[in-house]
Structure 1
Amino acid sequence: MENREVAAATAKNDVAPRTLTFKNKIAYAVGDVGNNFLFDMGQLYLLNYFTDQVGLPSAAAGTVFLVAKIWDAFADISVGTWIDNRTNIGKRGKFRPFILWAAIPLGMLLIANFTTPNFSVTGKLLWAYIAYMLFGTCYSISNVPFGSMIPTMTRNSQERSELASYRQAGSNFGLMLATIGFMPIVTALPNKNIGYTVAVVVFAIFGVLCQWFSYANIKENYPTPVKKKVSKEEIKASYRALLKNKPLLVVSLVNIFTFSAFNLKLAVQVYYCQYILKNTTAESWLGFFSIGMVFVSVALTPLLTKKFDKKMVYILGCAIWAVADILGFFFANSTFMLVFLTSIAYLGDGFTSALNWALISDCVEYGEWQSGIRSEGLVYSFFTYFRKLSQAIAGFIPGIVLAWVGYVPNATQTATALMGIRGLMFIYSAVLAVATIGVMLWLYPLTEKRYKKIVADLTVRRQNKQLAPEYVVSD
């Protein structure tokens, strides 16, 4: 009887209801445009702003990223725990209110990071630490709920892949606009200090507006019932369940590799264009074509996941990425070759980036199936904890390497410094893309067939009242 029930539930899961409209998907994508308008300023330009405008030593500036991102990682876990155990869920839902209320503080804190007062070096460094750590904390309060929403928006596996692709499209559209539009604003002003401030204010305003649009047009279709006050033992049980969630552990590990490589490349490309190509306008071309190429992979991802496991599409993306960056190390000596080879690398990265959010939603189901505990916020924040660690690495390593190879701001660089910049741009990411292939191939346990069986098991458990229903579809 049990097998028949599971088979029936599996069949039901294959045709699970599609709960999202096109408007919902666009709104979720626009939300990540706003996230990237606010977040990518730090990843793209803050290190360069610290070293070349504020006058902070390279190693000290890199350490700001290391400390702030480690702080952010723990902030993500704290926010995820808080969200999962809220007892005052109102009509706006479990996750949506955070997107609404955190937007303006987030925009103001971003501006503060690019308006360093004329203090001593020690004072400037202290300002950098405080402003960036506060920004990261506020970003956690906004972004952890935003990313945790997918399991409450749809249970359809294919629709989750589509939603993840829309989100990645929004993310990369925001990144592309930030890459193309930021520096022209900076250079159009009388001096770069004023230019940085004006540019960041423009992107902060549009970032807030995008987040509000997203809030108004997305919906929690499987709303969470209000919980009673949670005991410390229940919270501990939730943390123990995370450590037994093998798919989550694997996806979190490979994101240390892929996300640190991606963010390090974003931080270093400013230096690569300025000192190796001697063409600062190359960064705008790089943003338009290479990040634009991600849209191709985002469009292809749902098509590929209809025929192949998400795991294999993920590995394919890393293989394309690794080959392109190895070639880039040897041949990216002109703007054309840099843009061409980086575009191919970003095509591969687009598959991994688009699938991350779908894989994490699958990890939520796996965790509930394995432990009986469903915790979207905690699972997502655990994942972003490792992404923040990767960002810490991506911000710290360039500062240390630049200091080690003798980088001098706004000067002609030595051959050693130029080789250091080239290695950071290409070799680091190629090596980690190859490492990701190995980890996903040998350690990631979820196939589409197994995932459908897990969801079917959960359906049967709920029907048999072995687990209390977590959600009820809203009208």
Structure 2
Amino acid sequence: MDSTETQAATQKNDIAPRTVTLRNKIGYAMGDVGNNFLFDMGQLYLLNYFTDQVGLPSAAAGTVFLVAKIWDAFADMSVGTWIDNRTNISKRGKFRPFLLWAGIPLGLLLIANFTTPNFSVTGKLIWAYLAYMLFGTCYSISNVPFGSMIPTMTRNSQERSELASWRQAGSNLGLMLATIGFMPIVNLLPNEQTGYTVAVVVFAALGVICQWISYANIKENYSAPAKQKVNKKDLKAAFKSLLKNKPLITLSIVNLFTFSAFNLKLAVQVYYCKYILKDTAAISWLGFFSIGMVFVSVFLTPILTKRIDKKYVYMLGCAIWAIADILGFFMADNTFLFVFFTSIAYLGDGFTSALNWALVSDCVEYGEWQTGIRSEGMTYSFFLYFRKLSQAIAGFVPGVVLAWVGYVPGQTQTAGALLGIRGLMFLYSAVLSIATIILMYWAYSLTEKRYGAIVKDLLNRRGDEKVNSVQMTN
């Protein structure tokens, strides 16, 4: 590290060296391209597939998401505990191998979700539950290690923000391509149900390939000593340490708000385009422009976080999101206005999404500093637990609300049903964005200044040789 870089790091209250190359950043982004090819099929299209193609009742289809995602949440915690306490760690690293081995099973299980056999309604529901729960478990085995990697790739706070932004760029690219490309593939086939299956096969294959590319191009630069023995007392202490981590708990709760709002919008936008705009082509336009705006926020996030605390950039994103959705509720009556206001809302959401992974990595260091227990996997899986709960809410609420307002698949909808779809698309996310601003302001205390002091204290405790050498050059 030269003197200019050292001075910049010091000014940022960041004394850890930069260890991540451009190739590593691109590789990490590709991992989330693959994750989203695999994961977003369920968030974008599975509810509509259940109601309009398979013929499941709306409330019953929504309950599949509720039960499966609550199951996933506990699976995440179990996976995180297992990862933290692995003792047989190969040269590939602690987290990377999961990207390699989980890809194919994950792709096959995704396809199973969109190939419902011609059973009775009860049989179709059983298939939906089993297929989606197994998919979620396999996704945890792949995604928990992937998200836990940032603390092992770098200890530099700014570099973590950059990695989080690259990851979000990959996520947004995957979501954009899934939104733009899915329905055109469906429309090429003679019927929609077959089209859904073929489109999912295409994206499942691409998702596995992207995960393998990521595996080949990322690197774990730091590693904790392998644990020699695991006992219930250690596990209990680790769980208690998570409950003492106030920044982690705050971040997890606001993610329950923002991620449920984001995923609910993804599920409802298909219904909005079909029944309010009567323009299914709007889904592809929305994918291009709205997710394109998220790329703008991903580009802006590292620039803003160099000048403004990550906490306040996060709150700024929620403010943009809330304003755009409130205006959209009243004004989005045609494709142009719908795409415009939703794109601005996604711009705001992009700030929160890009920063989540950097903030949760900071919470790892805070937890170790506070309790002496370092647990990347358990911290990440605790955080992911709330994201899975948010996905459960995002799948369950639309199904229940659609049933409540009298939604009938494939038919002209009543005024009440159309109002319900509009409210789900805009008001739900606006209210939760405002709640996030309030909670982050009052409860999230891990500012950049405080984080810098915590990292310095931790590195002094560890006697980190690399960082000591950097300090001596200052």
1:435 aligns with 2:435: yes
* Equivalent runs, 1:129-168 vs 2, <5 Å: 129-168=129-168
The aligned counterpart of 1:3 is: none
The 3-state SS of whatever aligns with 1:112 is: helix
CA distance in 2, matches of 1:321, 1:10: 33
CA distance in 1, matches of 2:304, 2:13: 20
Shift of 1:12: 11
The aligned counterpart of 2:415 is: 415
Q: Which amino acid aligns with 1:379?
A: T
Normalised by the length of structure 2, the TM-score is 0.95
Q: Which amino acid aligns with 2:90?
A: G
1:346 aligns with 2:365: no
CA distance in 1, matches of 2:308, 2:41: 35
Q: Which amino acid aligns with 2:415?
A: A
The 3-state SS of whatever aligns with 1:99 is: helix
Q: How many residues align?
A: 457
1:422-450 per-position Cα deviation (integer Å, ceiling 9, x unaligned):
00000000000000000000000011000
1:178 aligns with 2:175: no
Moved over 6 A (4+): 9-13
1:334 aligns with 2:361: no
CA distance in 1, matches of 2:114, 2:186: 12
Q: Which amino acid aligns with 1:410?
A: G
Structure 1 residues 10 and 216: alpha-carbon distance in aligned structure 2, compared to 1, 3 A threshold: same
CA distance in 2, matches of 1:225, 1:368: 15
Shift of 1:169: 0.3
Kept in 1, the 8 Å contact 2:167–2:354? The answer is: yes
Structure 2: gaps spanning 5 or more residues? 1-8, 466-474
The aligned counterpart of 1:321 is: 321
Structure 1 residues 238 and 269: alpha-carbon distance in aligned structure 2, compared to 1, 3 A threshold: same
The 3-state SS of whatever aligns with 1:307 is: coil
The 3-state SS of whatever aligns with 1:16 is: coil
Shift of 1:10: 7.0
CA distance in 1, matches of 2:362, 2:163: 13
The aligned counterpart of 2:51 is: 51
CA distance in 2, matches of 1:407, 1:88: 53
Kept in 2, the 8 Å contact 1:10–1:453? The answer is: no
CA distance in 2, matches of 1:18, 1:211: 25
Q: Which amino acid aligns with 2:194?
A: I
CA distance in 2, matches of 1:464, 1:181: 48
Structure 1 residues 461 and 12: alpha-carbon distance in aligned structure 2, compared to 1, 3 A threshold: farther
1:372-419 per-position Cα deviation (integer Å, ceiling 9, x unaligned):
000000000000000000000000000000000000000000000000
CA distance in 2, matches of 1:15, 1:72: 37
Kept in 1, the 8 Å contact 2:34–2:211? The answer is: yes
CA distance in 1, matches of 2:403, 2:311: 38
1:83-102 per-position Cα deviation (integer Å, ceiling 9, x unaligned):
00001111111101111100
Structure 1: gaps spanning 5 or more residues? 1-8, 466-475
Kept in 2, the 8 Å contact 1:94–1:224? The answer is: no
Shift of 1:253: 0.2
Shift of 1:15: 4.3
Shift of 1:223: 2.2
CA distance in 1, matches of 2:14, 2:67: 45
* Equivalent runs, 1:6-45 vs 2, <5 Å: 14-45=14-45
The percent identity for this pair of structures is 81
Q: Which amino acid aligns with 1:443?
A: A
1:50-92 per-position Cα deviation (integer Å, ceiling 9, x unaligned):
0000000000000000000000000000000000000111111
1:455 aligns with 2:455: yes
The aligned counterpart of 1:376 is: 376
The aligned counterpart of 1:470 is: none
The aligned counterpart of 2:125 is: 125
Kept in 2, the 8 Å contact 1:86–1:227? The answer is: yes
Kept in 2, the 8 Å contact 1:10–1:455? The answer is: no
The aligned counterpart of 1:404 is: 404
Kept in 2, the 8 Å contact 1:10–1:452? The answer is: no
The 3-state SS of whatever aligns with 2:306 is: helix
Shift of 1:194: 1.0
The 3-state SS of whatever aligns with 1:223 is: coil
The aligned counterpart of 1:300 is: 300
* Equivalent runs, 1:153-302 vs 2, <5 Å: 153-302=153-302
Kept in 2, the 8 Å contact 1:64–1:129? The answer is: yes
The aligned counterpart of 1:472 is: none
Q: Which amino acid aligns with 1:23?
A: R
